[in-house]
Copies of this chain bind each other. A is one copy, B any other.
Amino acid sequence: MEKDIIAFTRGVPPSESFPLESLITCAQQVIHVDGARILQYGSGAGYHPLCDHIAAQYQVQADRVLIGQGSLQLLDHLCRVMLKQGDRVFIEQPTYDRTITLFKRAGAELVGFHLIDGQTDIDQIKNVLAQSPPPRFFYVIPDFQNPGGSTMSLDNRRELVALSQHFGFTIIEDSPYRQLRYSGQQIPSLFELAPEDVIHMSSFSKLISPGLRTGYMILNNGMAEDVIRFATDTYISPSMLDQAIVHEFLQMGLLNDHINNLKSIFFPRLQALLKTLEESLFEFGVWTKPQGGYYVGFFIGQQVKTPQLSNAGKFGLALTDGSGFFIDDNQRFLRLPFCALSEKTIVEGVHRLRNYLTS
């Protein structure tokens, strides 16, 4: 292990967690029973039985559900339909680097709000709203944030929803990790606080398999028709087979046990990471203590010289460029994904991180 690079890079599930046998059964079953539909062109909105399932889960009309090749693709549609060049989009800082790319590509003017102890600063947001035009969207990841790992408090959620209703902007809630809570109590989603207004995104990538590329979006009433038509114009329909397999997995009642299994793998990894950080790096930075999800966000302490990312390899590490999670090019943040690494590798990885940071 000493010589292999330890990768604190992408937020991917461990391949050994994929429910191979169940997915083989599901694939067989759906092709056998519903092959004539699944192998044909379908609706741009997605495979109807899965749309219906998600609609029932979120207690919305099925015509507000859009399923596609991962939720990022759906966010791209939303941007293309709803954003004009120069429209403002508010984001948390740090936030998911790929959405920053998408928003920039759509011509958005991004305004970032630093998370303080995992919370957005409502007073700062009010100040910005008092002095300049409201955004079209405020994109947030309230549960076990990517990349920070923090959870937005209920008060923060309520205040944000109230602001969105007062100033007429739309919250996009990206919540792929919500069901991976390892400790603490579930907090209502922003969507649950304002189900007619908030756009909610999620995915089966972190719950079943990313390769099945099945993400979804609950659109709000004013936007669903246009965004779904846009999706249809872009690719006619998303993969029917992938969605049918996911639907079968849900219908067979396999998801809850599988999520419990994932938690039993991931929670000890998180605990190992937090314990080793405490033992080895408490002088060199501060970090979040996530209650779920995939990531610990590490903020390099003032006393540490900004390390050169290109040097990480010399210390046996691969790290994601932390500045990608910010619009103001912050070099002093590290995202530490822990789900795909064994506890032993995590401990060794943190030791290497200490050497890297103190070199």
- A residues with CB within 8 A of B: 10, 12-13, 15-16, 18, 20, 23-24, 27-28, 31-32, 35-42, 69-70, 72-73, 76, 98, 101-102, 105, 205, 209-213, 233-242, 245
Contact B234 A72, beta carbon cutoff 8 Å:
yes
What 7 pairs across the A-B complex have the smallest Cβ distances? A211-B240, A15-B36, A39-B209, A73-B235, A27-B27, A39-B211, A18-B39
CB distance from A81 to the nearest CB of B (A): 11
For A20, the closest partner residue in chain B by CB is B35
Contact A239 B41, beta carbon cutoff 8 Å:
no
Copies in the complex: 2
Inside 8 A of A241's CB, which chain B residues have their CB? 27, 211-212, 241-242, 245
Inside 8 A of A38's CB, which chain B residues have their CB? 211
Contact A23 B39, beta carbon cutoff 8 Å:
yes
Report the Cα distance A334→B139, complex, angstroms: 46
Report the Cα distance A101→B229, complex, angstroms: 12
User: Are A238 and B213 also in contact (CB < 8 A) when A27-B24, A35-B18, A39-B18 are?
Assistant: yes
Inside 8 A of A240's CB, which chain B residues have their CB? 211-213
- Residue of A20, A69, A73 ringed by the most chain B CB atoms within 10 A: A69
Contact B32 A12, beta carbon cutoff 8 Å:
no
Inside 8 A of A31's CB, which chain B residues have their CB? 20, 23-24, 27
Q: Can you pick out 13 interface pairs between chain A and chain B where the beta carbons lie within 8 Å of each other?
A: A15-B35, A15-B36, A18-B39, A24-B28, A28-B28, A40-B211, A70-B235, A101-B233, A211-B239, A211-B241, A213-B240, A239-B239, A241-B242
Inside 8 A of A73's CB, which chain B residues have their CB? 234-235
Partner of A39, one of B70, B101, B102, B210: B210
Contact A42 B236, beta carbon cutoff 8 Å:
no
For A12, the closest partner residue in chain B by CB is B41
Report the Cα distance A76→B213, complex, angstroms: 19
Inside 8 A of A233's CB, which chain B residues have their CB? 98, 101-102, 105
Inside 8 A of A213's CB, which chain B residues have their CB? 235, 237-240
Report the Cα distance A73→B234, complex, angstroms: 5
CB distance from A236 to the nearest CB of B (A): 6
For A19, the closest partner residue in chain B by CB is B39
Inside 8 A of A101's CB, which chain B residues have their CB? 233
CB distance from A229 to the nearest CB of B (A): 10
New A-B pairs, 14, CB < 8 Å, besides A69-B238, A213-B237: A23-B31, A23-B35, A24-B27, A37-B211, A38-B211, A39-B209, A40-B211, A41-B205, A41-B211, A72-B236, A73-B234, A211-B241, A241-B241, A241-B242
Report the Cα distance A189→B36, complex, angstroms: 32
Report the Cα distance A73→B232, complex, angstroms: 10
Inside 8 A of A211's CB, which chain B residues have their CB? 37-42, 237, 239-241
For A205, the closest partner residue in chain B by CB is B41
Contact B15 A39, beta carbon cutoff 8 Å:
yes
